[in-house]
Structure 1
Amino acid sequence: MLVPVIAAVDGSAESFAAAMGAPPTPLRQWGRAAREAARRNRPLKLLHAWSWHPRQDGEPATAAQRHLARRCLRQAEERVQRTCPGVRVEEEQVEGPATAALLRAADEADLLVLGSRGLSGFTGFVVGSVALGVVARAARPVVLVRAEETAPDEHVPAADGHDSTRTPYRDVVLALDLNDPCDEVIEFAFEAARLRHARLHAVHAWQQPSAIALGPGDIGLVQVPQRADEWLGFMTAVLQVWREKYPEIEVAETVTEGRAQSVLVRATSGASLLVVGRRFTDRPAGPRTGPVAHAAIHHVGCPVAVVPHA
């Protein structure tokens, strides 16, 4: 049995209002999940998690909630079937806290897709506590996508400037940490580019060490162009084995001096996907997304895939 792509169906008041016949909210993240399932030749599971709350008389209000959840799932399925009619769709309702339910589902998923509103027309996401909790703890890759995204957003514009799905895909951008390059993250990015027949753009941000941080035996303040060349040579060496494994993928390499947040915002302008890593941690403070993934989620405008690794 093929492991599915799982899309979380939002149980918010807005989604329930849409399910009950109110003007629908943008629900296109399900279209993105369906396209991912089609590209990966996998089924799509629509998952709705809900928690019941007892009424004042002590009786659980589960019947109404289950009914609303079913309608919400059916609405999502209808939209998916219009977007990608060849994708096999499954539905599931689970009871319990949404974060815990989605984490359990992610354990059995090829990929988990979560929708979020954009902060503006350009960059960043409005990410709720459920999405952040899932991203910080999930054992499988999680993709955050704008709820208002459409299929043409993944493609370069047509020659006349209009949106199109017949043009090539935009770049897949890999945020590559050359201080600790991780195979899982790199492979996910190359595979994402292969599935899209897109170019892979690997990006590393580095910062010049301050004089205070240098020890007595350290080489002093090496010229910036020399340090950039050293980083670029290292990136080429790290990616060489992946170029050989994916010879059909065009790869662009960029190393830039600056803060990762600013570098990634510039690099992902016009990209179809950003891939970042998140390290598993057993720190007492609990799971964290890490500074680069956190910056990407809150400041990058394209969909973000967060890939966990050891």
Structure 2
Amino acid sequence: MSRTVTVGLDGSPESLAAADLAAIEAHLRAVPLRVVHAGEQQPYAYAPFAAEAVALPGEDRSARMLHDVEVSLTHRHPGLKITTEQLSGHPVTVLSVAAREAEVLVLGSRGLGRAAGRLFGSVAPAVVGRAEGPVLLVRAGACVAGEHRADTRGPASWARPYRDVVLGLRLPGECAEAVLEFAFDAAARRATGLRVVHGWKAMPSPWVGEGDESAMQPESILTETLRPWREKFPGVEVTEEAVIGRPGSHLADASRDALLVVLGRRRHHVSVGPHLGPVTHEVLQSASAPVAVVPHG
């Protein structure tokens, strides 16, 4: 895995918001930012960050877009190392590879829409369903525009640091270390708390032996699950919230007061095509905050 944050750019308002958020993420991780555009995807007729686009003689629209965004991000995020690259190939394939090569891939998302269960109407959900690395999705205006500020003491920072990172966790069964590490690390880097929203699936599990009633208690499982991560990240204040009903709806509600929502996605090792569970579908469709989907298993 390369020490970079990568953002996929197509010129849409969502991808421009993603580029800004990716620059912040790169600052938080102290790594370079890589801005990529898939050659088969024509850029939107976009409004660049600056008031006027800079015309580059002899350059195509893709190169001009990458140049404009690089200039704007350099101005908005001084000191950040930024590279741009045009990549050949289908956007979903190209960005899935980029996700595997980066610490995190950032994409703009329009939400999934009502037909998401049958059709992928945009590149982002298809990439999330295939990616081998974490993918961070953001909508235009959701939590980027107006939600962070340039701090005179350093790079851009979140304007509302009291907002928590929210982790959606299903118990028992989803205690993947990659998801937990991503969530705790995200809260630590943002100097904020971690709110663990967990649902309890009361049914037989490989973790639970017959007659083992203590193991059936969600509080004890959650405590043991979080204990090593609390020790590793002692500065992160953790709160726990048990939910009944549809967890996706609870997480969408929690996103209104969150800096970031973190979800896990189990990898599928057979060729079944892109797969997103119902909770991820619902959160991506209606979340107000950026959503990170972390593959595991």
Q: Give the shorter-chain TM-score range.
A: 0.7 to 0.9
How many Å separate the matches in 1 of 2:158 and 2:229?
28
Unaligned runs of 5+ in 2: 43-56, 114-119, 150-156, 204-209
Q: How do residues 1-310 of structure 1 correspond to structure 2 at under 5 angstroms?
A: 3-10=3-10, 15=12, 27-51=16-40, 67-117=60-110, 128-148=121-141, 149-150=143-144, 152-153=146-147, 165=158, 167-180=160-173, 181-206=175-200, 230-310=217-297
Structure 1 residue 207 displacement after superposition: 5.9
Structure 1 residue 234 displacement after superposition: 2.1
Structure 1 residue 187 displacement after superposition: 0.5
State the SS of the aligned residue for 2:288.
coil
What amino acid sits opposite 2:291 in the alignment? V
Unaligned runs of 5+ in 1: 16-23, 54-63, 121-126, 156-163, 210-217
For the aligned residues, what is the CA RMSD? 3.1
Query: Is the contact made by 1:278 and 1:309 (CA closer than 8 Å) also made in structure 2?
Result: yes
Flag the 1:119–1:134 CA change in 2: closer, same or farther, 3 A: closer
Query: Is the contact made by 1:154 and 1:271 (CA closer than 8 Å) also made in structure 2?
Result: no
Query: Is the contact made by 2:178 and 2:296 (CA closer than 8 Å) also made in structure 1?
Result: yes
Q: With the length of structure 1 as denominator, give the TM-score of the two structures.
A: 0.75
Q: Percent identity?
A: 41
Structure 1 residue 75 displacement after superposition: 1.4
How many Å separate the matches in 1 of 2:246 and 2:93?
33
How many Å separate the matches in 1 of 2:262 and 2:240?
14
How many Å separate the matches in 2 of 1:25 and 1:231?
38
Query: Is the contact made by 2:8 and 2:107 (CA closer than 8 Å) also made in structure 1?
Result: yes
Post-superposition, which runs of at least 4 consecutive aligned residues in structure 1 deviate over 4 A?
164-167
How many Å separate the matches in 2 of 1:300 and 1:52?
26
What amino acid sits opposite 1:285 in the alignment? V
Q: 76-85 or 40-49, which moves further after superposition?
A: 76-85
Count residues in correspondence: 261
Query: Is the contact made by 1:5 and 1:110 (CA closer than 8 Å) also made in structure 2?
Result: yes
Query: Is the contact made by 1:173 and 1:267 (CA closer than 8 Å) also made in structure 2?
Result: yes
Flag the 1:282–1:26 CA change in 2: closer, same or farther, 3 A: closer
How many Å separate the matches in 2 of 1:151 and 1:84?
14
Q: With the length of structure 2 as denominator, give the TM-score of the two structures.
A: 0.78
What amino acid sits opposite 2:245 in the alignment? G
Post-superposition CA distance 1:17-55 (Å, at most 9, x none): xxxxxxx888222110000000000000010112289xx
Flag the 1:244–1:67 CA change in 2: closer, same or farther, 3 A: same
Query: Is the contact made by 2:148 and 2:160 (CA closer than 8 Å) also made in structure 1?
Result: no
**Bigger radius of gyration:** 1
Structure 1 residue 233 displacement after superposition: 2.9
Structure 1 residue 97 displacement after superposition: 0.8
How many Å separate the matches in 2 of 1:74 and 1:299?
32
How many Å separate the matches in 1 of 2:159 and 2:275?
39
Flag the 1:284–1:98 CA change in 2: closer, same or farther, 3 A: closer
State the SS of the aligned residue for 1:176.
strand
Flag the 1:170–1:151 CA change in 2: closer, same or farther, 3 A: farther
Structure 1 residue 232 displacement after superposition: 2.5
Q: 111-120 or 246-255, which moves further after superposition?
A: 111-120
Structure 1 residue 166 displacement after superposition: 5.1
How many Å separate the matches in 1 of 2:230 and 2:58?
50
Query: Is the contact made by 2:148 and 2:159 (CA closer than 8 Å) also made in structure 1?
Result: no
